[in-house]
Chains A and B, each alone.
Chain A
Amino acid sequence: MNGKDPSPEVGRAFPETPWTMLLEARHDDTLGGRALSEICALYWYPVYAYIRRRGCAAHEAEDLTQEFFASFLQRGDFAKVDRAKGRLRSFLATAVSHFLSQDWRKKSAQKRGGGQPILSIDANEAEERYRLEPADTLSPEKLFERRWAMTVIENVMEELRREYEKQGKSDVFGVLSGYLTGNGSAATYAEAAGPLGMSEDAAKMAVHRMRKRFRDLLHRHIAATVDSPEEIEAERQWMMDAFRT
């Protein structure tokens, strides 16, 4: 890829099919099933953090996170969990709460055991991240919500970074990503432009393009977790509100 700016095709990581449709086609080794697994692989941490905040120790939380996603992806449990709202986030929040309830776990105990881990979870990384969570101020539900929103942003940022890296523009990303949230005055743009060998106007333009690409990726990532494009904006607003309340 040798275009001027990272294009949507570079480093594409997301299916555009809504997750609810993938869920219907998740069985065995279908493309839909693999795509849904990929999405879940990106969102295991909010589930892990929720389970930890519900009082489980690290090793137990890791096992339960694996077990939860296996239940969801392989065995199709939680079929009765309401997914009328069409949001993967609210579906998983409800499902993991059911999963941790004693009744549900007793019932499903016979079905468990012996399976291969379904997600690649780095236990050390998980704990390293969990260690940064506020000690007792957030309920498990609130922690899940904030972590979900944060994970969406992290995934978008990571995809953006990879796009720039693939085009040999890691330095551009490294310097200008700091301006994504719009704190660039003329003086600071000039400051950033110097090390990149750009003019101030070129740096400003590059930041604008980076923002535009961030916005496109954000929409796409959210789109994969809702039921229709019309819900993208409401979900984005919900994520912003998750940090305000």
Chain B
Amino acid sequence: MTESGAETSPDSCPECGGTIPPGAPLGRCPVCLLGIGGDSGSVTGDTSPDGDSEQLVPGYRITGKLGEGGFAVVYEAEREGGVRRKVALKVLRAELVSPRVLARFEAERQALALMDHPDIATVYEAGESPDGIPYVAMELIDGLPLTDYISRKQLGRRERLVLLRRICDAVQHAHWKGVIHRDLKPSNILVTEIDGRPEPRVIDFGIARAVDVSLTDRTLYTDWHQLLGTPGYMSPE
């Protein structure tokens, strides 16, 4: 066991604004270090140029990597030709392609396609790469996870409630469309700003479930006993 540069007093992280606890490795923010491992691209800000500029999906130029989840890698990309715009390009990890993973990816794609709400990330296009790897091009949200945003902006109770109401409206919209998110938590709600006003966006319908419509024809969507979601935010049942 190593002692990795312990510090004796709490400090604020210049990146996310969170508190760096005493004894943090190399005195670095543990949340930002953990952020390197995944989806919170806004935490690491890692868009440095390297081999990522290859063209994984025809028509999209990769300009950086936003994050990496359990099943997919999310890139920042630019749509080439026609309407040029920046998108979040979620590409399934080739090494994980299996009927179950394909089914879940397809379900997310279908769930998002059903949505038509300003506070739910919009899907622009979905398809498969020439290698048969599915992808989905979505609205690129330049924001922070909900709790990080609230901490950084030091929002008061009223402002938090306004945000919460917007989020509830978005969730209600999903429910009207027959889709249950099943993994709602602060890190799946990004807050961006438009004209200086906070705008929440619900993201990651990766484990969403349809109530009365079929999200996918694939039969291996999930094993009946498999636990999906994030324990800290799951409903008890």
Contact = CB atoms under 8 A, between A and B. Distances in A.
Interface of A: 42, 44-45, 84-85, 90, 122, 125, 128-129, 132-134, 146, 149-151, 153-155, 157-158, 177-178, 180-183, 204-205, 207-209, 211, 214-215, 218-219, 222, 229-234, 236-241, 243-245
A181 B4 contact: no
Given A129-B23, A208-B50, A243-B18, A181 B36 contact: yes
A211 B231 CA distance: 28
Given A181-B32, A215-B37, A219-B37, A243 B21 contact: yes
B138 interface: no
A208 to B, nearest CB: 4
Main SS class of interface, A: helix
Contacts of B94: none
B46 interface: yes
B83 interface: no
A237 B15 contact: no
A120 B8 CA distance: 26
Contacts of B25: 150, 153-154, 157
B22 A237 contact: no
Contact of A85 (B28, B40, B231): B231
B70 A240 contact: no
Name which of A229, A236, A237, A245 has the most chain B CB atoms within 10 A of its CB. Answer: A237
Interface string B93-129: 0001000010000000000000000000000000000
Most buried by A among B38, B43, B229: B38
Q: Which of A45, A128, A154, A229 has the most CB of B within 10 A?
A: A154
Contacts of A241: 185-187, 230, 232
A151 B227 CA distance: 25
B220 to A, nearest CB: 13
B53 interface: no
A240 B3 contact: no
A237 B30 contact: no
B21 A237 contact: no
Contacts of B34: 149, 153, 218, 236, 239-240
